[in-house]
Amino acid sequence: MASVTLSEAEKVYIVHGVQEDLRVDGRGREDYRCVEVETDVVSNTSGSARVKLGHTDILVGVKAEMGTPKLEKPNEGYLEFFVDCSASATPEFEGRGGDDLGTEIANTLYRIFNNKSSVDLKTLCISPREHCWVLYVDVLLLECGGNLFDAISIAVKAALFNTRIPRVRVLEDEEGSKDIELSDDPYDCIRLSVENVPCIVTLCKIGYRHVVDATLQEEACSLASLLVSVTSKGVVTCMRKVGKGSLDPESIFEMMETGKRVGKVLHASLQSVVHKEESLGPKRQKVGFLG
Amino acid sequence: MAMEMRLPVARKPLSERLGRDTKKHLVVPGDTITTDTGFMRGHGTYMGEEKLIASVAGSVERVNKLICVKALKTRYIGEVGDIVVGRITEVQQKRWKVETNSRLDSVLLLSSMNLPGGELRRRSAEDELAMRGFLQEGDLISVQAVFSDGAVSLHTRSLKYGKLGQGVLVQVSPSLVKRQKTHFHDLPCGASVILGNNGFIWIYPTPEHKEEEAGGFIANLEPVSLADREVISRLRNCIISLVTQRMMLYDTSILYCYEASLPHQIKDILKPEIMEEIVMETRQRLLEQEG
């Protein structure tokens, strides 16, 4: 993970600030930085989204491809995650440097989506045991400014909301061989319901308190963090502790409650932004990367 | 708790926002500046095929017969007598390597460093062994630059310079820091600021008594009061907004920006609309003051 070195005095300043609920940039402990979300930025994907959270810049592309269902779940499609930490984020990611972080993030994404209700996988099934849709979710880290997991989960949710999977029909002829027919209208597609897709809220423990949305400097002062994955209704799907330090069970409970509270607000804001963007229609001004 | 998500907005070009004719002669490497051979060539230009050609991307400046191109975004190029703020990256034999946002790491020799207490004596072998006790990796120092062979050599000859205590560091482009007589400013709003020529800006609480500073070795780790923290956070956000709008940084511009930002909450200053409003007001006040 990209990190900055800080002097002892700077760390002490940050820790005391967190205690007084006034962080270096004037935020409170539970405030997020300004988030910019834009969907449909990559034209040759089924769905895409770009999220900018302070200095963290994430691009997610979703491609829907035809595949065979897994043996143990013959009536469902599935999701595959891949995270690429690009070397333009920090020089540490050059060559194979970003692979460790990439696999860690991908494994976390698998875990949070590993339950029955996050995404309705039955809608991805075309014909049981034979054909299904596989959604390849690719995450690209463009810039690393702290709080990667939150930004990635917001981008994944926005990209899944934007995903349009073409509608197909299975035609059976007399010999029993199946043919898959794509509908003629390019706009005839199915959309995924992202109501239960969870988002990750990272809570970093700094001193005796915890903060949401830590910057790189704040992450350098924190020894332990808790990643809580929350749905829009406040249900926790997965929890993970990262960092070398230890967490008291009581503080874990407090952090979880904060995570649930913050998560609900996060979902509500994201929902309103993506709906607003969709209501602007296909004629909206796309900012993209050159704005 | 606050959470704000928004759609990205394309940035408007600067001259549109200013509303006046700011035709600067901007060049990119390879552009012809002039075919008139009567001019002396300065930095950022070279003579080729009877024409004066730019070698960096920036704006052309002309002083009588001297033409030079001032680069807009560059690494710090050391000049003798500059004040810089740097971070120690390595502790080596008889010297420290300091990161100052220049092309090479700068060097701080043990013999150029103040000893605690301000004593003057020859540095012995014990001093060499105790180097890590003075300055460690990650520490911030304020020093004066002595430019030598491409790597900037630093020294802290007076007790004004030395290790920095609690405060906030902001990193900006070196071209935005205006050259002035003094770079240590005690702002009337209650905090002090060091504008390093290398683009590292250090904001810290004004020490209460101007005591005979021992080069700052005894770091004061007591908690800074909430009022001082608010001033420091506000200054930090103001500096970042000035930098985003490409305004020169000096004590007057920072102070005017601080005063313009008082009606807003500290964390709101970083929102794009409020940032533009504050910087516009600062610009107007500066123009009134000049004219």
Which residues from chain B sit within 8 angstroms of residue A31, using beta carbons? 1-3, 267
pTM above 0.90, yes or no: no
Q: Quick one: pLDDT at residue B109?
A: 85
In a domain, A188, yes or no: yes
In a domain, A1, yes or no: no
User: What are A149-195's pLDDT values in tens digits?
Assistant: 999 999 999 999 999 988 888 887 777 677 778 887 778 888 888 88
Contact A35 B164 (CB under 8 A): no
Q: Quick one: pLDDT at residue B76?
A: 86
Q: Which residue in the block uniquely carries the two structure tokens 């000893």?
A: B115
| Residues of chain A under the 70 pLDDT cut | 1-2, 176, 290-291
Query: Among A6, A25, A35, whose Cβ lies nearest the Cβ of B5?
Result: A35
Query: Among the residues of chain B, which ranges form H helices?
Result: 14-18, 125-129, 131-134, 226-244, 251-261, 272-290
- Please report, in tens digits, the pLDDT of each residue of chain B (291 residues total): 778 888 888 777 665 555 445 567 888 998 888 887 788 888 888 888 888 888 889 888 888 888 888 888 888 887 888 888 888 888 888 888 888 888 888 888 888 877 766 666 777 777 777 777 777 666 777 777 777 677 888 887 677 777 888 889 999 999 889 888 888 899 988 899 999 988 999 998 888 765 545 445 566 788 888 999 999 999 999 999 999 888 889 889 999 999 999 999 998 898 888 998 999 999 999 999 887
**Among B194, B191, B129, B119, which Cα is nearest to B163's?**
B194
Q: Quick one: pLDDT at residue B23?
A: 67
In a domain, A14, yes or no: yes
In a domain, A217, yes or no: yes
Structure tokens belonging to residue B278: 């504050």
Closest approach of chain A CAs to the CA of B37, in angstroms? 39
In a domain, A114, yes or no: yes
Q: Quick check: B21 and A291 in contact, CB under 8 A?
A: no
The rounded distance, in Å, linking the Cα atoms of A184 and A190 is 14
In a domain, A291, yes or no: no
User: What are A121-137's pLDDT values in tens digits?
Assistant: 888 888 888 888 999 99
Q: Which residue in the block uniquely carries the two structure tokens 């040759």?
A: A44
Query: Among B8, B138, B167, whose Cβ lies nearest the Cβ of A5?
Result: B138
Contacts of A89 (CB under 8 A, 6+ apart): A2, A98, A141, A142, A143, A144
In a domain, A230, yes or no: yes
Query: Among A9, A262, A269, whose Cβ lies nearest the Cβ of B166?
Result: A9
- CATH number, position A47: 3.30.230.70
Contact B266 A26 (CB under 8 A): yes
The rounded distance, in Å, linking the Cα atoms of A75 and B129 is 69
The rounded distance, in Å, linking the Cα atoms of B140 and B133 is 14
Q: Which domain holds residue A177?
A: 8-280
Of all residues in chain A, the percent with pLDDT exceeding 70 is 98
Number of domains in chain A: 1
Chain A neighbours among B 45-104 (CB < 8 Å)? 87, 89
Query: Among A8, A20, A277, whose Cβ lies nearest the Cβ of B219?
Result: A8
Q: Quick one: pLDDT at residue B217?
A: 59
- Mean pLDDT taken over chain A: 89
Contact A273 B6 (CB under 8 A): yes
Which residues from chain A sit within 8 angstroms of residue B2, using beta carbons? 27-28, 30-32
In a domain, A286, yes or no: no
**Among A70, A141, A50, which Cα is nearest to A104's?**
A141
Hey, is the C-beta of B166 within 8 angstroms of any chain A C-beta? yes
Count helices and strands in chain B by DSSP H and E runs: 6, 18
ipTM: 0.87
Q: Quick one: pLDDT at residue A61?
A: 95
